[in-house]
């Protein structure tokens, strides 16, 4: 797992803002990268709405917020439209970036083990260094906890 002080892994993903966003593009910018399993599921929707409700507060701290899931850009756009989301969503269909962040791995449901997204969030500073790493988070109230941790 990644820890505070580690360099954030490189990424380049398709964005709902159009084109691709890479970690190289974000040098000099503080940002939040949160990984979630699937658009339009209850926990993921709650988390996205809470980040949206706080997006202006993140902006006041000059922090960008990006949500990452394996869903396609088309599904992301529908998710944004349905819930009036203000966060930028990134598509990681092969789970390469989520794997690099240790946000993809074994999960258990009803006694069965399967591979999936482990809800995780990272605060990454202007130098590309991890300032905070949260694994196995609960969606409800998480966005506020992240906002409170942003310096």
Say if residues 8 and 122 touch (Cβ distance below 8 Å).
Answer: yes
For the record, the structure tokens of 23 come out as 């970690």
Domains identified in the chain and CATH numbers: 27-149 (3.40.30.10)
Which active-site residues does the annotation give? 44
81-102: b or e for each residue (b if 16 or more CB lie within 10 Å)?
Answer: eeeebbbbbbbbeebebbeebe
Please check the confidence at residue 65 and state whether its pLDDT lies above 80. Answer: yes
Instruction: Answer yes or no: is pLDDT of 106 > 90.
Output: no
The 10 Å Cβ neighbour count of residue 2 is: 17
For residue 151, pLDDT over 80 is answered with no
Neighbours of 64 (CB within 10 A): 17
pTM, 2 dp? 0.93
What tens digit of pLDDT does each residue of 107-121 get?
A: 887 888 889 999 999
């Amino acid at each position: 797992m990644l820890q505070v002080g580690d360099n954030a892994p490189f990424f380049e993903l398709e964005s709902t803002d159009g084109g691709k966003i890479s970690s190289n593009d974000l040098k000099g910018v503080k940002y939040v990268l949160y990984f979630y399993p699937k658009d339009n599921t209850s926990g993921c929707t709650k988390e996205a709405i809470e980040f949206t409700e706080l997006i202006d507060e993140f902006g006041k701290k000059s922090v960008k917020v990006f949500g990452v899931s394996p869903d396609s850009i088309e599904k992301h756009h529908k998710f944004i439209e349905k819930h009036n989301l203000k966060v930028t969503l990134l598509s990681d269909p092969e789970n390469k970036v989520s794997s690099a962040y240790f946000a993809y791995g074994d999960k258990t449901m009803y006694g069965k083990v399967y591979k999936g997204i482990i809800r995780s969030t990272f605060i990454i500073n202007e130098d590309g260094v991890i300032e905070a790493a949260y694994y196995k988070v609960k969606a409800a109230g998480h966005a506020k906890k992240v906002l409170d941790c942003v310096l």
